[in-house]
């Protein structure tokens, strides 16, 4: 077992020794049953948050979401961590949540109150059957109160209880549904899908940032093309990504498959270029989505660069080096190159091949220092003016294209302009 899994088992054993019920819960049980590596291991217990803090000691716990019954338990401090002056070993907390039942939902996102309960009640307040299982690592047994095992076998996503009511309680669950069917390659049970189709319009109560976080996982996934299709099938796109329904799905799927590296940025840029027939329209859509989803400037910049320059890489086979080089030294070039691979047809990918070849060359620097600088010109008595920039950029181009290769040649050229 991985270190986080062992740490969760350690916590469970200690809670048991103190007389409590404790099991693994939710996503980690689902992922382990699917043979996937869980992102994190959450523990559920009948110990109250106060009892959890008592069992492990206040110093080793963090009151994460104490009102929701979630305590973070830190791994034991190893003796050498205390004495050595070296950087403290990062102690990652494990989430330990008290079994609970959720009260009323009035804001469409979070329960107004929670009451502590038992394992079965805790299973019933979870969103989907595949997320509602527990695992007892000491007995090696799955505790399934919601039919999650069968749905997992049949690859079905189904809400626990009445779909309409569950999406009414928390609108974010609709987008989580799209994320789970995408990333786990499931189908949606008809009532679950129908309920989303009916309630899609209420997704607006969820913050743009939260929507953006889910969309990042959908778009960056291997099945991202299907994720966007689920978005349209469920009707959520009208409120999350208006216009997405006109996507050429087969084309998007083919393009997704061509990328070496699938990230949110490469997935987004490829989707935008597939959805729109002009760079301007793709850019406009990106601006709108970026605002709604509260995308970071780093994300926006990488996607924007790929949207505006990937086509140039596709067409760069005979481009002068002085035009290609500035594209290749951009900090987001790996995103752009992957998007170029996605949108290039296999027969016409000579441009992409060239870009990749140039990037991999070791026989000359990709970005050599300029032969002359503005200072060099001033020192030679040339007065700064509007022609200055023009000259320097002409010299840079001539240098890159091999027309001028020494400082003296550059100065001679300048003197000819200046006379």
Site string for ligand ATP, 99-138 (x = CB under 6 A): ---------------------------xx---xx------
Question: Are 279 and 307 within 8 A, CB to CB?
Answer: yes
Contact call for residue 172 and ligand ATP (CB under 6 A): yes
Length in residues, the chain:
419
Cβ 238 to ligand ATP shortest distance, Å:
22
287 binds, among ligand ATP, Mg ion, none (CB under 5 to 8 A by kind): none
Q: How many residues bind Mg ion (CB under 5 A)?
A: 1
* CA 299 remoteness from chain centre: 10
Task: Verify binding: residue 227, ligand ATP, rule CB under 6 A.
Answer: no
Least distance to ligand ATP, CB of residue 43, Å: 11
Give DSSP secondary structure letters for 196-235. Answer: HHHHGGGGGGS-HHHHHHHHHHHHTSTTHHHHHHHHHHTT
Measured at CB, which residue is nearest to ligand ATP?
27
Quote the least distance from Cβ 301 to ligand ATP, whole Å.
Answer: 26
| Cβ-contact 96, 117 below 8 angstroms | no
| Complex with ligand ATP: residue 102 or 285, whichever CB lies closer | 102
Reduce the secondary structure of 170-181 to three states and give it as a string: CCHHHHHHHHHH
**Taking a C-beta distance cutoff of 8 angstroms, is the pair 138, 12 a contact?**
yes
Tokens encoding 98: 């008290």
Q: Binding partner of residue 328 among Mg ion, ligand ATP, none, CB under 5 to 8 Å per kind? A: none
Interface with ligand ATP by CB under 6 A: which range of 137-145, 165-173, 230-238, 364-372?
A: 165-173
Q: Which of 259, 193, 190 is nearest to 221 (CA)?
A: 259
Name which of 53 and 126 has its Cβ closer to ligand ATP.
126
Q: Which is nearer to ligand ATP, 161 or 374 (CB)?
A: 161
By CB under 6 A, how many residues form the interface with ligand ATP? 11
Nearer to ligand ATP, 186 or 302 (CB): 186
Q: What is the DSSP string of 266-283?
A: HHHHHHHHHH-SSHHHHH
72 near Mg ion, judged by CB under 5 A: no
Among 6, 17, 36, 39, binds ligand ATP (CB under 6 A): 39
Both structure tokens of 57: 């000691």
Which string of DSSP letters, residue by residue, matches 345-359? -GGGTHHHHHHHHHH
- Write the CB contacts of 255 (distance below 8 Å, at least 6 apart in sequence): 225, 270, 274, 342, 343
Residues 3-32 that bind Mg ion (CB under 5 A): 27
For Mg ion, the closer of residues 69 and 290 by Cβ is 69
- Report the alpha-carbon distance of residue 358 to residue 363 in Å, rounded: 10
Cα atoms in the 13 Å half-sphere on the side-chain side of 397: 9
Using the rule CB under 6 A, is 173 a contact of ligand ATP? yes
What, of Mg ion, ligand ATP, none, does residue 95 touch, CB below 5 to 8 Å by kind? Answer: none
Q: Which of 7, 27, 182, 335 binds ligand ATP (CB under 6 A)?
A: 27
Residues near 279 by beta carbon (within 8 Å), at least 6 away in sequence: 273, 307, 308, 311
Q: Find tokens 């969760």 and name the residue.
A: 8
285 contact choice in ligand ATP, Mg ion, none (CB below 5 to 8 Å, kind-dependent): none
How is 111-127 classified by DSSP, letter by letter?
BS-EEE--HHHHHHTSS
Closest CB to Mg ion belongs to which residue? Answer: 27
From Mg ion, ligand ATP, none, which one binds at residue 170 (CB under 5 to 8 Å depending on kind)? Answer: ligand ATP
Backbone angles phi, psi at 101, to 5 degrees: -120, 140
| Closer CB to Mg ion, 27 or 235, in the complex | 27
- Contact between 26 and ligand ATP by CB under 6 A: the answer reads yes
Chain residues in the site for Mg ion (CB under 5 A): 27
Chain residues in the site for ligand ATP (CB under 6 A): 26-27, 39, 42, 126-127, 131-132, 170, 172-173
């Amino acid at each position: 077992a991985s270190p986080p899994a062992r740490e969760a088992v350690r916590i469970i054993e200690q809670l048991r020794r103190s007389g409590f019920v404790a099991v693994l819960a939710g996503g980690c049980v689902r992922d382990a049953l699917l043979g996937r590596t869980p992102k994190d291991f959450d523990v559920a217990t009948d110990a109250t948050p106060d009892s959890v803090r008592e069992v492990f000691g206040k110093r080793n716990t963090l009151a994460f979401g104490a009102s929701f019954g979630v305590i973070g338990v830190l791994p034991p401090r190893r003796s050498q961590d205390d004495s050595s002056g070296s950087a403290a070993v990062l102690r990652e907390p494990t989430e330990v949540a008290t079994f609970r039942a959720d009260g009323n939902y009035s804001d469409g996102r979070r329960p107004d109150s929670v009451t502590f309960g038992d394992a079965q009640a805790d299973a019933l307040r979870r969103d989907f059957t595949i997320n509602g299982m527990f695992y007892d690592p000491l007995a090696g047994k799955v505790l399934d109160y919601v039919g999650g095992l069968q749905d997992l076998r049949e690859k079905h996503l189904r809400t626990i209880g009445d779909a309409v009511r569950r999406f009414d309680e928390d609108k974010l669950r609709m987008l989580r549904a799209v994320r789970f069917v995408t990333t786990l390659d499931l189908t949606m049970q008809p009532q679950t899908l129908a309920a989303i189709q009916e309630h899609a319009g209420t997704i607006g109560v969820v913050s743009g940032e939260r929507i953006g976080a889910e969309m990042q996982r959908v778009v960056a996934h291997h099945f991202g093309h299907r994720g966007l299709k689920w978005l349209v099938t469920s009707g959520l796109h009208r409120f999350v990504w208006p216009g997405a329904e006109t996507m050429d799905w087969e084309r998007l799927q083919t393009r997704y498959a061509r990328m070496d590296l699938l990230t949110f940025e490469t997935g987004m840029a490829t989707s935008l270029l597939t959805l729109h027939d002009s760079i301007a329209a793709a850019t406009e859509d990106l601006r709108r989505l970026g605002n709604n989803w509260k995308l970071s400037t780093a994300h926006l910049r990488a996607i924007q660069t790929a949207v505006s320059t990937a086509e140039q890489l596709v067409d760069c086979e005979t481009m002068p080096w002085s035009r290609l080089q500035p594209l290749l030294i951009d900090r987001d070039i790996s995103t752009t190159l992957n998007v170029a691979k996605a949108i290039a047809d296999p027969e016409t990918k000579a441009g992409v091949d060239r870009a990749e070849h140039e990037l991999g060359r070791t026989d000359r620097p990709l970005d050599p220092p300029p032969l002359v600088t503005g200072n060099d010109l001033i020192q030679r008595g040339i007065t700064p003016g509007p022609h200055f920039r023009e000259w320097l950029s002409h010299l840079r181009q001539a240098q890159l294209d091999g027309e001028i290769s020494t400082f003296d040649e550059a100065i001679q050229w300048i003197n000819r302009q200046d006379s």
